[in-house]
Structure 1
């Protein structure tokens, strides 16, 4: 079997790339280790930058987003007893759209199925071969049979634990990592959100994020120690702790209900350089991870896809490799900008176990400067709605 581009991973980045390529006449096949239902069951963020919306426009999958996405023109930051609204529209004349990653994935799956493009689910023992040659190929097992997929390029969209990144020689690959000493306990419930916009709370007991997926579905996060287990947290305990950290004024608007999903995610930053090795490319979580504080994970994956789709289109349509050669550098410039912003937000809004009085005072000074400086607020808004693509 042969294709032009072999894509490893049927998450949002792999599906988005496949859809853009297919709409431009470039043949591609996606290999996914899990089932389609498993992929849809992954609960992830849902704050979309304009760059991500542009990418979904190119993929032709924005009908549901335009119908059900929630435009957010700002967010609220709460530091102790003080709150500050960052007005995106006023500061930078832009906004974000809240639309769940599950919905993005479903839209892309349905669009791919509609055009008849090939996705092989439950592809086992996927292995990459001869990525340094002009004739790379992928082998895998499916339904007990071994298959070989020849191609021009391989794109690894298979996440942090995938097979693509290890295919780059260890003496070439550089990794950078920052592991945070806490996690986020997330709870999703079919209840109306406590606010029309996202609320980020710095509390002495730990960080809180009040988020949402729709006008009737809420997503809340609590900072917890890495030693905590999901089973330690009943719904009742979660709601009680959330009320405590929100305070009586905001809790008055809180509607509680049974959780439909609950999980703990550790926070970490991770970047791989380079993101290209000959005819192998990395995109999305295969190349980088950001703490969810800045809502950048899916958005960075989308910008990777835009850079890469431009490069592949230029190659196939104009026989030009310039954008292929510059792919890694172009992506990494935006990635490190987002990593810096996520690090900044995480440091300012969380309680670290080793913090002393000096550190707490610096956090308060950082927030005070943000609240009293239009330039500081504008810088946060620029980063939140998305760095230039």
Structure 2
């Protein structure tokens, strides 16, 4: 009997590891693991990637500090623009650090191994995959256009926003730094989507299979098999959240800041902007909203699918079965799915479910309008 088919080829995530490596953020081959580098004969590469990673991370962190230190009157247009830049800079810096961390942990290779080890992985859905890739391509282009437009405007009309274009110091070149930051934001978000999206696909397939088993005869051997599958999938989802889910901890804060301030600009300062600037701010508003939605909603969807498996077991006919051996297995499946380690956390204080993610997204309109009202009251 042959090996079960793997849902996605082993080279799939490896291609993204290569992209991260091209960006100079490969801590998987650095002085942090000098002994392995010596054994592989890649000492020069280890030194090179250690230097490039440290340089990129320091520059992006200093960009955040530079924006924070710029002074502007509160609730004015320049102040809101500074906050938009700050949010984007925070997201970019968090993205660079995130990608460095997952390469250091060898997360791409481990994820492929975990997919290959699944007993019966979900069959690949080429249509959904095509739609997902098309969406990510459009998302990438739109985000980069917004980032580049904002950076280009910095060098001309938006100098009044408090970002002096001067090469007398390193941070005068911040439009270029912001473009690099945008590249990291885009790449990290795509990796984040793929990791959680693939996990969600496996969980959907499992829930469908579990529902079919429970609706039929509740055979003991099949229930035991489903219990083992659930254990493997929960292990996979824990791994994805603890490695790839790190991006949501800080990057969501940056996206939130940029989105709310872009909304305040659109609401409170539209009369001061040209049509091109309004279009740019609307584009930024949409893309930061998409960023935040991805960072909140994607883990929330995984969390909901995990809880869905427990609900299927709880409301099934398994409790009416005469085979008493099924009861402890069913109880373990419910307790396993509802264990605290499977409750996704974001920003350390949010217990993520779909309701929480939706509540945060709907609150953005409230916060943005409050800022616009404060601007009208105090910015004179």
Answer with 1 or 2: which has the greater Rg.
Answer: 2
Considering fraction of residues, name the structure with more strand. 1
> TM-score scaled to structure 1, two decimals?
0.32
Give the TM-score normalised by structure 2.
0.33
